């Protein structure tokens, strides 16, 4: 993870400068950003509608790790995922929004984020995702994790909180209720986190901004 620095220029791109600016500053100052009800409402509604009409068969068991490291392990993680592509308007609009944030972070924080990958996640009652890191120092090219929640009328008694553990041992973990439109971002290598068991269906999008790790022996395709 490169050290973050804030540039002096004041980018003014698109419809979301306040949210994007808040996320940039939070990442710089704290390494994480939690923004309740912050996703543009039209986009949140469109993604929710899209989820309603997705067939169950679109969701597959989530693996731990990617590609060759793929292995299913129900003990660590029990939710289902569906990777997002750009083959329907809702997913296109999500990717446009996420790449807008990518450009903003690149200009504001000199990050050099190169690509973005994301999936829908469905946690049924009782599902969880135990404490884990999204990227490991030294080998990782996932730099920033981005999570958005699509749960209407979520009550604290519904469980399913995201627990974000701070790098400093003396700081309390952060507890995020997965309410509709809440946007969370954090440095992938620095914040272990977990999803507590949900007591009703819980929907989120999880995504990662990556650096380009290509070198001559191994081409890392953007996904
Ligand atoms: C993940 C993840 C958190 C959430 O998919 O890696 O940590 O709240 N998701 O859905
Ligand atoms: Mn994670």
**Chain position carrying tokens 């986190």:** 193
Residue 217 has pLDDT above 60, yes or no: no
DSSP symbol at 36: T
pLDDT value, residue 87: 86
Domain ranges of the chain: 17-62+76-210
| 74 neighbors 219 (Cβ within 8 angstroms) | no
Give ion ligand 2 contacts, CB < 5 A: 134
17-62+76-210 adopts what CATH topology? Jelly Rolls (2.60.120)
pLDDT value, residue 213: 66
pLDDT value, residue 137: 74
User: What Å distances lie between residue 197 and 13, 118, 152, 212, CA to CA?
Assistant: 38, 22, 17, 34
Higher pLDDT, 33 or 57: 33
Q: Residue 20 C-alpha to ligand 2 middle, in angstroms?
A: 21
Name the band, by pLDDT with cuts 50, 70 and 90, for residue 221. Answer: low
Q: What is the pLDDT averaged over residues 149-158? A: 96
Model pLDDT for residues 202-214, shown as the tens digit of each residue: 999 999 999 876 5
Q: Residue 222 C-alpha to ligand 1 middle, in angstroms?
A: 21
Kindly give the interhelix angle for 89-109 and 17-29, rounded to the nearest 10 degrees. Answer: 50
**Chain position carrying tokens 């946007």:** 183
User: Six-digit token pair at 80?
Assistant: 């289902």
Residue 127 has pLDDT above 60, yes or no: yes
For residue 195 and ligand 1, the question of a CB distance below 6 A is answered with yes
pLDDT value, residue 141: 85
Nearest atom (ligand 1) to Cα of 194: 7
Q: How far is 1 from 133, CA to CA, in rounded Å?
A: 14
**Residue whose CB lies within 8 A of the most ligand 1 atoms, among 65, 149, 196, 206, for a mutation test:** 206
For residue 191 and ligand 1, the question of a CB distance below 6 A is answered with no
Q: How many CA atoms lie within 13 A of 131 on its CB side?
A: 8
Residue 86 has pLDDT above 60, yes or no: yes
For residue 128 and ligand 1, the question of a CB distance below 6 A is answered with no
Q: What angle do CA 217, 222, 137 make, to 5 degrees?
A: 70
Evaluate the CA torsion angle 65, 97, 43, 54 in order and state its sign: negative
């Amino acid at each position: 993870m490169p050290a973050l620095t804030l540039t002096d220029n004041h980018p003014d791109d698109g419809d979301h400068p306040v949210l994007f600016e808040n996320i940039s500053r939070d990442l710089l100052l704290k390494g994480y950003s939690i923004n309740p009800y912050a996703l543009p409402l039209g986009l949140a509604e469109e993604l929710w509608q899209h989820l309603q009409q997705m067939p169950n068969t679109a969701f597959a068991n989530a693996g731990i790790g990617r590609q060759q490291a793929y292995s299913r392990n129900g003990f660590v993680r029990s939710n289902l995922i569906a990777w997002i592509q750009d083959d329907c308007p809702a997913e296109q609009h999500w990717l446009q929004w996420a790449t807008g944030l990518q450009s903003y972070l690149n200009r504001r924080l000199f990050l050099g984020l190169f690509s973005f990958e994301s999936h829908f996640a469905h946690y049924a009652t009782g599902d969880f995702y135990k404490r884990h890191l999204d990227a490991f120092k030294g080998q990782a090219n996932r730099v920033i994790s981005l999570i958005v929640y699509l749960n209407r009328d979520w009550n604290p008694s519904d469980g399913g909180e995201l627990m974000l553990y701070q790098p400093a041992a003396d700081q309390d973990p952060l507890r995020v209720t997965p309410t509709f439109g809440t946007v969370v971002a954090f440095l992938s290598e620095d914040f272990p986190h977990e999803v507590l068991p949900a007591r009703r269906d819980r929907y989120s999008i999880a995504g990662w901004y990556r650096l380009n790790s290509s070198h001559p022996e191994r081409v890392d395709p953007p996904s």
